[in-house]
Amino acid sequence: MIGGEQIEVLLLGAAQDGGFPTFGCVCVNCMSCYNNITSPDAPTSLALLDHALEKWWLVDATPQLNQQWAENAQILSKFELSGIILTHAHAGHYPGLLYLGKECQSSTQLPVYASPSMHAFLQANEPWAVLYKNSNLTAFELLDQVPLVLSESLTIIPQKVDHRADFTDTFSFKVQGTNKTLFFCPDIDSWEGLPETLATVASSMDILLLDATFFDDNELPSRDMSLIPHPRVVQTVEILKSVDFSCEVVLVHMNHSNKLWLDSELVEQLETDGITVGRKGMKWMI
């Protein structure tokens, strides 16, 4: 392994919950996909691969999980799926659990790591509840700031963050590998909702995967964007510009309306500031 790292992190998607393009949309961005100008992308999720144990864990089960598996099957099929780790219960983060039911893979007691409120939500609502009743899934509770040791080389530290609690609370994750650390926060209302400042996170982690749902407040003229709180990319950039960060910063969870899908000059400008726009297929050894 490079530098002794044996944990590989694979970005399975960098889009917001609906994917890119998104159903029924004929905006300029989505039309660019239909016309083969830009490439489609899937909702944001991660695969964590332990090369020594030949096991992998899925972080968030998106509605496009079947497609994400197909695109990465040559890699993932060499590893045993050993669990699913969930951030929260918004539409792009858990529906893929249905692929574990009897109509599909029919898994046996696959561990699902999630907050108590997330498990309560799943077990109280069909068709998710039947996955527990049929022992396709087994619930393991994640608690705020309590480390989850998945292997000798891989530990996850959940951190509760402020995000619209429509059904459940929301976690971000610090992923600790052999030599490096990665921070995964695809959903948050604002960076003030972190238990520590974004500047502190940037100074203490090696890789940041950050919520970039919307570029600015002008993105959805037909909707009241104050009702869809997320840190705007322009705000994230300003915060990071004010600190001396040496970590790798990658923007994920981009809504289909986000201008970063199509504006190559803007993407290049961000890169000069040390910020990368995420796309599915990116990977890191940690």
* pLDDT tens digits for range 90-124: 999 999 999 999 999 999 999 999 999 999 999 99
Please write the tens of the pLDDT for every residue from 133-177. Answer: 999 999 999 999 999 999 999 999 999 999 998 999 999 999 999
Q: Return the half-sphere exposure (C-beta side, CA atoms, 13 A cut-off) of residue 220.
A: 15
pLDDT above 90: residue 282: yes
pTM of the model as a whole: 0.96
Look at residue 283 in the predicted model and tell me its pLDDT. 98
Q: What backbone torsions phi and psi does residue 274 show, to the nearest 5 degrees?
A: 85, 20
Token code pair at residue 131: 């996955």
- Considering the chain, what is the average pLDDT of its residues? 96
Q: How many domains does the chain have?
A: 1
Sign of CA dihedral 115, 117, 120, 124: negative
Look at residue 3 in the predicted model and tell me its pLDDT. 58
Distance CA(212)–CA(254), nearest Å, equals: 5
CATH number of the domain bearing residue 89: 3.60.15.10
Domain membership of residue 9 as a residue range: 2-285
Q: What backbone torsions phi and psi does residue 101 show, to the nearest 5 degrees?
A: -80, 180
Q: Is-contact 178 5, C-beta < 8 A? A: yes
- Reported residue count of the chain is 286
